Amino acid sequence: MMESDAEVLGRVARGDGGALTRLYQAHGGRLFGYLLRLAGDRMTAEEILQDTMLAVWRSAGSYQGGSTVTTWLFGVARRQAYNRLRGAPPPAPSEPPERADPAPGPDELAIAAAGGTPVADAIARLPDHHREVIALVFVAGLPLAEVSAVLGVPVGTVKSRLHHARAALARTLATQGVPE
């Protein structure tokens, strides 16, 4: 029988490095895609993902089940990204558990391939709060309720931001002569 993410996270809280690897394998690609959209470059996104997994290792015991593990992981990733992107120094190095193969997965390759396209350029010009919703919904594939939980805003706000982001993208692409 397959363990739930919550059971795997419980094992991480008890110091099981293999469980952390399992969480990384299950969620690392989507987390990376989201962080790449926030950070804007692969190296920074990889560093933030490492910071995220280290934070998960250290704080797994704080998970109380009030949200899905996926939502909790994206919340941790979001905090790590904002700490790093605001210029806060990265966490002190420590000996993290072994990680899964760092080679890019299909999600990461697709995101990298989109770089430099008119759509990617238009997304990069969006305000942060719109770009973040686009990344969580379309890159990470989270449902609106989970996006709401990650961002700490009502679902209606997520819908509004998504609507305005899509409208801004459509306007930008139309002025560039790119079909919608």
Q: How many domains does the chain have?
A: 2
Q: What is the pTM of this model?
A: 0.71
Asked which of 66, 81, 103 is the last residue of a domain, the reply is 103
Both 40 and 61 in one domain: the answer is: yes
Assign 170 a pLDDT band (cuts: 50, 70, 90): confident
Q: For the segment 14-43, what is each residue's pLDDT rounded down to a tens digit?
A: 999 999 999 999 999 999 999 988 888 899
Are 115 and 140 within 8 A, CB to CB?
Answer: no
SS3 helix, strand, coil % of the chain, rounded to 5?
Answer: 70, 0, 30
Can you give the residue range of the structural domain that contains 152? Answer: 115-180
Both 168 and 99 in one domain: the answer is: no
In a domain, 108, yes or no: no
